[in-house]
Amino acid sequence: MMKPFRELINFEDAKIIIMEKTGVMERKEEVSILQACCRVLAEDIVADRNIPGFSRAAVDGYAVRAEDTYGASIKNPIRLRIVDKVFAGDTGSKKIDKAECIQIATGAAMPYGADAVIMVENVKVEDEHIVITKPVYPGANVSPEDEDISKGETVLREGDVLNPSKVGVLAALGRERVVVYSLPEIAIVPTGSELVPPGNKLEYGKIYDINSYTLSSLLMNFSRIHVHDIVEDDEDSMEECIDSLLHMDYIIFSGGSSVGERDILVDIIERKGEVFFHGIALKPGKPTLFGKIGSTLIFGMPGYPTSCLTNAYVLLLPSVKKMARLPHEERKGYAVLAEKIVSTIGRHQIYTVKVRDGKAYPVFKESGAITSMSEADGYIEIPGNVEYIEEESKVLVKYF
């Protein structure tokens, strides 16, 4: 009736094969820096100017020529005439001559001719003059024009993930657009005549398409998602669908839960490309298929919602992030198991748990149950050679 899975591959090998076969994105695109956060830079950014680009007053005070202050002391106070004032943002049209000064605000560009600033606290103001009793050296209280960034410096590098401050560096250099790596294009294809899109009426024996929505939600921040119409799981429909989607980076089939449907996909991929594995010694998540046609990676995900989504977390997401050139860090931590778990010998198990006050409570019902996932904070992995884990054991929880 249905062909059994050929050889099951073990979970660790499946992960290795997927990551080995996943290339990194080479396509690039230009985006506005307002949309660039979290994207991966595809160019080195070399400063084409000094930042701030002019020397600035480092304190509120008076811009002077340092040489005019030499010799000042309490016995020999020196008077400099206040000829103007500048605020941050005033352009540099002002200048001073011998024995003059300009009132200046912190951050304002130094006037032409001035090479030092005397702090406001260190002067006395009399009749539009300042009176000083101490000399200053050239450069005193002045920030250099390349204080932040020097022209020619490589400030950001290809491969950097742009965060708010790196976007700020681009803005500081006056860049309004930036070249980043494109996001992977992913087609999600729900298959199976039992599926109905949410929002429509259900006949007896049919179920709503869940996986298109969970997969989209999981991947949308790292890729461009295209949800395909539901495809009948016969050979012609599947083949036509694949042929129409080979410009994608990934095609992800989800839904066909039986061995028979998987086989259609296997046959098509074997004919047009390569099947890397079909069936993992994993629970849930056994009926998983991974292959490639041309440059398009193809996943056949289990139809059951929990199997599909846990597989997407543990196998698909790391691949998509690798292709997108994004780091993939698992958030994990130890917890104490609240009750004994009995596992299946010979299959690596992904067991969903919720964590409260350091205790991990099993929430796994069965792989068809979306509530096995929706109540879970994360999962523990139980290797294939472990039959059970005792209550109160310390377990490593990987968080969703």
Q: What 3-state class would DSSP assign to 371? A: helix
Nearer to a second copy, 221 or 295 (CB): 221
**From the CB of 189, what's the least distance to a second copy, in Å?**
15
Nearer to a second copy, 167 or 350 (CB): 167
Calculated CA dihedral for residues 64, 68, 72, 75, nearest 10 degrees: -120
Calpha distance 283→257 (Å, rounded): 14
Nearer to a second copy, 70 or 334 (CB): 334
Burial annotation 369-382 (CB, 10 A radius, 16+ → b, else e):
bbebbeebbbbbbb
Pairing of strands 78-86, 116-119: unpaired
Nearer to a second copy, 293 or 312 (CB): 312
**From the CB of 205, what's the least distance to a second copy, in Å?**
3
**From the CB of 355, what's the least distance to a second copy, in Å?**
14
Strand partners, 195: 207
**From the CB of 202, what's the least distance to a second copy, in Å?**
7
**From the CB of 188, what's the least distance to a second copy, in Å?**
11
Q: What share of the chain is helix, strand, coil (3-state, %, to 5)?
A: 20, 35, 45
**Could you give the angle at which helices 235-244 and 259-272 cross, rounded to 10 degrees?**
50
Task: Evaluate whether 301 touches 254 at the Cβ level (below 8 Å).
Answer: yes
Pairing of strands 394-399, 378-382: antiparallel
Nearer to a second copy, 160 or 276 (CB): 160
Nearer to a second copy, 45 or 337 (CB): 45
**From the CB of 132, what's the least distance to a second copy, in Å?**
17
